Structure 1
Amino acid sequence: MAKDGEGMTRSNTAIFILLIAVFTCSGAAQPVDTVEELKVCARMTDKEARLACFDDLGDRVLREEPADQKPPQEKVAQAEAESATRSNAQPLPDELGRSTTAQYVGLITSCKKGGRGDWYFFFDNGQVWKEVNRRNLRFKECNFNATIMTDSFGYKMRIDGEERTIRVKRHR
């Protein structure tokens, strides 16, 4: 005859095993609503419990996936590879990877030094460009051609006949 403590432990174990068997069988019989389980996991406030819930759900979803089914990324890669081999691939032009810099070449009709030491350049078409570097620039006359080029940080102006560039921005 068993002691009361041991009998109670055996009966608890038996009930526990029976409950696990019932829940696993009923879970296999009913389709699992993954969206509802995601909502339950998302509503958890404890970070550790929420992470564990998402991990368990992810593991369960991966186990339910049939072995012969490929993941979507592999399907997409395979479809792209097949379409690439089927189509007549034309070589890409060499200029495709290079950056095409937009340039404007114009005549500066006048230039004026502002109150804070920055220069304003007036083009023949009415555009006004302002120097942003505040360099020590000197001009004897302001009647020359200049090229405005786009840069990764804005615009640069190169005065014809000079090697240096001046960082500018459009004022008007």
Structure 2
Amino acid sequence: MERELKYVDMEEQPISMHPKKFALWLFMVTVVMVFAGLTSAYIVRQSEGNWLDYELPAIFWLTSGIAVMSSLTLQWASYSARKDNFVNLKTGMVLTVLLGIAFLVGQWYSWVAMVDREVFFVGNPSGSFLYVFTGLHAVHLISGVIFLIIVLISTFRLKVHSRAMIPMEMATTYWHFLGGLWLYLFMFLLLNH
């Protein structure tokens, strides 16, 4: 008895992604391109001379630790949402929002430290770049904190759970991105200031 092999032409399934997630990824790619351009401009301008050497504010180490901790608490919240553990979800979200605000406050104090060292936005381009990097990142961070607060409110209304993860997944992706972006900027400045 012979078996006949048949070729079945299967229709290809398109790669699908939630439209809001896709928009978020496009936005993050744009942000990467902006910061890649800025860091490239920094290196080119630094090589031209007339560059002020200064010590980076020590608070950058603290804000970097806060960024890592906030990513961990948000990941814990996301995991808790998948398991419908609402107590841990709410706790993780509250901690993440507080850490996000603490990061912003830390960035403000880094500017205060730079002014105390007489490194200003206007004047030497090395200081200008530092203010542009941290200021532009802070603007994105403010949007991230607002996004986290929206998800936090949804969490307390029990709208984030294992069957409704899109807002949590988007907030987690964006927040991890912002944390990674900050760590990149901090390492870049450590190596190139």
- TM-score range for the pair, normalised by the shorter chain length: under 0.3
Larger Rg: 1
Work out which structure has the larger RCO, using CA pairs closer than 8 Å and 6 or more positions apart in sequence.
2
Structure with the bigger percentage of strand: 1
